[in-house]
Chain A
Amino acid sequence: MKTREQRDLFPGALEMMILKTLKRQPLHGYALVQHIKRTSNDLLQIEEGSLYPALQRLLREELVKAEWGISSTNRRVRTYKLTAKGAKHLEHEVSRFEKMLEGITRVLAPGES
């Protein structure tokens, strides 16, 4: 099944960024996507909607949990929080990603080919 974010990002990238963001603090969907966009300096082309399938996947895997509440702007929001399992998963994914990135970087490094 082809999903939206895979066109721009590698599989699992969005999830990783969500987990990382949620590790810092629990957020609701809108705040989450704004944070990711802002932090990446809008370098990443993320459709806001693509966040939701990713969140559902994380929910299903029990890496995050969600709770309805009232936001600071007095809006009914669903706040996502990282679980212990999610924290562990994030650690694992980040180290995997760093290894991969290192590999890619080495291959792409000038003068090596």
Chain B
Amino acid sequence: MSWLKQLFSRRRLYGDLSEEIREHLEEKVEELMAGGMSREEATYAARREFGNVTLVEQDSRTVWRWPSIEDFLMDLRFGARMLRKNSGFTAIAVFTLALGIAANATIFSFLSAWILKKPAVSDPDRLMVVYGTNSNELREVNQNPVSAPNFFTWKKENRVFSQMAAMDRDEVVNLTGQGEPERVSVARVTANYFSILGVSPALGRTFAVGEDQSGSDRVVILSHALWERRYGSDPKVIGATIRVNGESHTVIGVMAAGFVLPPFLTQMWTPLVLPDAQQNAAARENRNLYLFARLKTGISAKQARAEIATLGRLAAEAFPDTEKGWGAETLPLQDFMIRSYPAGSAMVIFMSAAGFVLLIACANIAGLLLARAAGRGKEMAIRAAIGAGRGRMIRQLLTEAGLIALLGGALGLALTFWSARALQSALAFDEQSQALQLAVDGHVLFFTSAISLLAALLFGLAPALQAGTPNVSAILKNDSATVSAGRGRSRFRSVLVAGEVALAVFLLTGAALFIKAAYDVVHSDPGFDPQNLLTARLSLANARYGKATTQSAFFQELLEKLKVLPGVESAAVTSNLPAWDAGDVSFRLKGQENTPAGARPRAFHFVVSPDYLRTAGIALIAGRGFTESDNANAPAVTLICEVFARRYFPNGDAIGKQVLIDSGDAKSAQWRRIVGIVRSVKINPLDSVTHAEIYEPFLQRPASSMAVMVRTKSNPDSLAPGLREAVWALDKDQPITSVMSMQDQKTIETTGSGLIETIQAICAGMALILAVVGLYGLVSFSVGQCSRELGIRIALGAEKKNILRLVLREGMKLALIGVAIGLVGAFPLPRAFGSLFPGFHVAGGWIFVLVSALMSGVVVLACYIPARRAMHLDPMVALRYE
């Protein structure tokens, strides 16, 4: 640790040195005087022979220095002083960077909560999920459950998994006994499910072998959240009896708090009882199992994928009637979870918007530092002239840039903590998003520091390189001997301004186009009129309304009652509300060859009562809608939407053609004549892609669970009591759920999109502010550098008006060049976005015009204001300014 001692004992060392040198000179002088010289002469001679005392002292001290660290500390001190001196510049740079970093780090903490976090099971990389794919899948996510027969076959025949478990899709059940009745989401799982996942319960036990057999399956495991909320974290709940759908179950365990596997939001697990391998068509059509499997040791996920694909193909070949068009895939649990989240593209959109902001921030700072480096040419030249090495100067500049990056990074991180918390509270709109535990974690820290370091390098390197090649004498001459900036420097400034304009135009146009396209998706016409609609959901109990006739009778009577309520315009029932994720069916067109059900085209499916089109406000394009006479005894009819008509009847001759809609029971599967074409409606509010939709009359396919829709003359909420009374007048025990206006439905569905929009609006605002501030700063700084030249021109008699015109013309020229370059770059962006995000219709030529005009305006303003100020300067002041 001698260096440490040196570092501290240095003051004494230096004292010794000075004294020693003083003594040396003294001795020499005395000796010379003894030789006959006068004191004055002797002192002079002694000094001459000794050399430069200061330099010797300095050289001697250098020996003790620890050069890299000390130089660095010196650079740091100097850098800090420079930044403090230019506090405006520093504030803009740091703030700019902080915004860019915070935007990215916040989005990234979201991303890391969602993608980078490993699922809470043991060895998650070796846990695979097996699922089915359909070649005609309509939804974004093509991860379907598989049938029990396939589960049994694959479990037996695969050579890649050591064990396989099955989980039934989440189902909502009535939970009664102890407290209020409530509806909870339950998953049925095979007894080996928990052991395959490698999770253990927080309390009690998981399912034992044999508990997934009929008769011993009345046991239940609670999720930690449910246990906490409903049972007050009472450990005595183990062994208690609760009623699930009216049947007694014994609570045997409570899972740990962290055991959440989105997208499955299970609150309770019960054993899955699978009847022995049935191979009939109905069992094959009943696809409701997700399979979880452990890879055998030595088997890779890729091998498993190939094996499962083969097994899927074998099933399709063996059972073409039911399996054609279906395939099988397997993915590690984490990948499966990521892909099942439909917010995937939203995430990319977030990242891109934030990325644009960071790019603009970096460009800004680079521009500011470049401009300042140009202004510091003389300082650099002087340093070079008195012997600073090139490396030393580059290091100094990099230190300054690094200091800005560090401050920006720190402030950015603080902002991130704040905005991550804000985002977390904004995420509480649905359970899936709530399950994301947003925290600024290590990944985020890493990401943030990586960005800020990268940014420092990005904008620190350019001025350093420019300053690193100083032609000392030229710069010194340029700056002091001649009165205006030399041609080299002014050209550099021109390139800088034009380049910054081009970059700002490109990035801002990109950001604006992107955000507008994302906005358009959410706000595209839903195809129906959501105003003044009251909706509710009724599920008739099977015991009382088991038969189709009783079901249709109930709903018909209800509609009659609703129609006569004061304030009601019309009423209808529908199997699904528009923009509320309808179910889909496969179908066959008459005249086409008979393909197996799995390979047939699919369409979203609605079963609606006669007044549905009028009630929902869906326009009829051709033909007629359903009427009361389209009943069970009348010829089977159907309506299709315009997309359906265009896709399957490109010649425009859809009406009168026949369609067969596949459905569970063969009886209702009959050829239906197309009688009308209607507008397409949105299936998912966050989706602008319009799909094929097909409608069946309720009277020809009654069902027990329907949505009621009432169009009202005024505020729909005021009719909610009337709706309830009408239902209870028919059956006082009939529960009604989800009574709310269509607007409220939509709000629930699209709260997430509101958040997306807010974030994008913030990103757009930041991008705009940053671009404007950055460009203004750069241009006005550059013009300000010329104030000496302007002063001289005025002193020589130039008219102020002409000079102003000169400056503005120069600025305008650069702005136009920059805009032109930026537009050339931005021109292919709409097409690029369109191909990256299907469903994006990137339009808005006005964005190009607006951004160009705005940027040109900023440049002109940034020229005008400092130029005017220069006009009012006393020419003498400008001349003397040195």
Contact = CB atoms under 8 A, between A and B. Distances in A.
Interface of A: 1, 3-4, 29-30, 47-50, 52-53, 55-57, 60, 66, 68, 73, 75-78
A100 B17 CA distance: 34
Given A29-B20, A30-B24, A50 B56 contact: yes
B63 interface: yes
B49 to A, nearest CB: 5
Interface string B30-62: 000000000000000000011111011101111
A106 B386 CA distance: 41
Given A47-B49, A75-B27, A53 B56 contact: yes
Looking at chain B, what size class is its interface with the partner chain? Answer: 20 to 34
Contacts of A60: 6, 63-64
B50 A48 contact: yes
A4 B59 CA distance: 9
Interface in B11-26: 16-17, 19-21, 23-24, 26
Contacts of B6: 60
B701 interface: no
Contacts of B62: 1, 53
Contact of B60 (A53, A73, A75): A53
B415 to A, nearest CB: 44
A76 B23 contact: yes
Contacts of B53: 49
Nearest to B27: A30
B64 A48 contact: no
Contact of A52 (B20, B26, B49): B20
A52 B53 CA distance: 10
Nearest to A77: B23
B20 A50 contact: no
Given A49-B50, A50-B56, A78-B16, A30 B28 contact: yes
A52 B454 CA distance: 45
A1 B24 CA distance: 25
B20 A48 contact: no
26 contacts: A4-B51, A4-B55, A4-B59, A30-B24, A47-B50, A47-B51, A48-B49, A49-B50, A49-B53, A49-B55, A49-B56, A50-B51, A52-B17, A52-B20, A52-B21, A52-B56, A52-B59, A53-B56, A53-B62, A53-B63, A56-B17, A57-B63, A60-B64, A75-B23, A75-B27, A76-B23
Contacts of B59: 1, 3-4, 52-53
Given A4-B51, A47-B50, A49-B52, A56 B60 contact: yes
Contacts of B50: 47-49
B23 A52 contact: no
Contacts of A52: 17, 20-21, 56-57, 59-60
Interface class of chain B by DSSP: helix
Nearest to A52: B60
A68 B12 CA distance: 13
Nearest to B16: A78
B51 A30 contact: no
Contacts of A78: 16, 19-20, 23
Contacts of A4: 51, 55-56, 59
Nearest to A33: B24
B60 A30 contact: no
Contacts of B24: 29-30, 48
A35 B28 CA distance: 13
Contacts of B64: 56, 60
Report which residue of A1, A3, A29, A53 has the largest number of chain B beta carbons within 10 angstroms of its beta carbon: A53
Contacts of A75: 23, 26-27
A22 B52 CA distance: 25
Report which residue of B57, B60, B61 has the largest number of chain A beta carbons within 10 angstroms of its beta carbon: B60
Interface of B: 6, 16-17, 19-21, 23-24, 26-28, 49-53, 55-57, 59-64
A3 B52 CA distance: 12
Contacts of A3: 59
A41 B17 CA distance: 28
Report which residue of A50, A56, A76 has the largest number of chain B beta carbons within 10 angstroms of its beta carbon: A56
Contacts of B26: 75
Nearest to B54: A49
Contacts of A77: 23
B434 to A, nearest CB: 63
A57 B28 CA distance: 23
B639 to A, nearest CB: 90
A56 B21 CA distance: 12
Contacts of A57: 63
Nearest first, the 4 A-B pairs at minimum CB distance are A49-B56, A49-B51, A47-B51, A56-B63
Report which residue of B20, B26, B49 has the largest number of chain A beta carbons within 10 angstroms of its beta carbon: B20
Nearest to A50: B51
Report which residue of A1, A29, A30, A66 has the largest number of chain B beta carbons within 10 angstroms of its beta carbon: A30
Contacts of B57: 52
A58 to B, nearest CB: 9
A59 to B, nearest CB: 8
Contacts of B52: 49
A73 B24 CA distance: 13
A47 B49 CA distance: 6
B5 to A, nearest CB: 11
Contacts of B60: 52-53, 55-56
A63 B50 CA distance: 24
Contacts of A29: 20, 23-24
Contacts of A47: 49-51
Contacts of A55: 60
A68 B27 CA distance: 16
A45 to B, nearest CB: 11
A107 to B, nearest CB: 33
A80 to B, nearest CB: 10
A66 B63 CA distance: 16
B273 to A, nearest CB: 84
A76 B21 CA distance: 12
A48 B17 contact: no
A49 B52 CA distance: 7
A4 to B, nearest CB: 6
Contacts of A48: 24, 28, 49-51
Given A4-B51, A4-B56, A29-B24, 15 more contacts: A3-B59, A4-B55, A47-B50, A47-B51, A48-B24, A48-B50, A49-B55, A52-B21, A52-B56, A53-B63, A56-B17, A56-B61, A60-B63, A75-B27, A78-B23
A83 to B, nearest CB: 14
A26 to B, nearest CB: 15
Nearest to B6: A60
Nearest to A37: B49
B42 to A, nearest CB: 14
A30 B56 CA distance: 15
Report which residue of B26, B49, B56 has the largest number of chain A beta carbons within 10 angstroms of its beta carbon: B56
A3 B91 CA distance: 42
Nearest to B28: A30
A49 B48 CA distance: 10
B697 to A, nearest CB: 95
A66 B64 CA distance: 15
A60 B21 CA distance: 18
Contacts of B56: 4, 49-50, 52-53
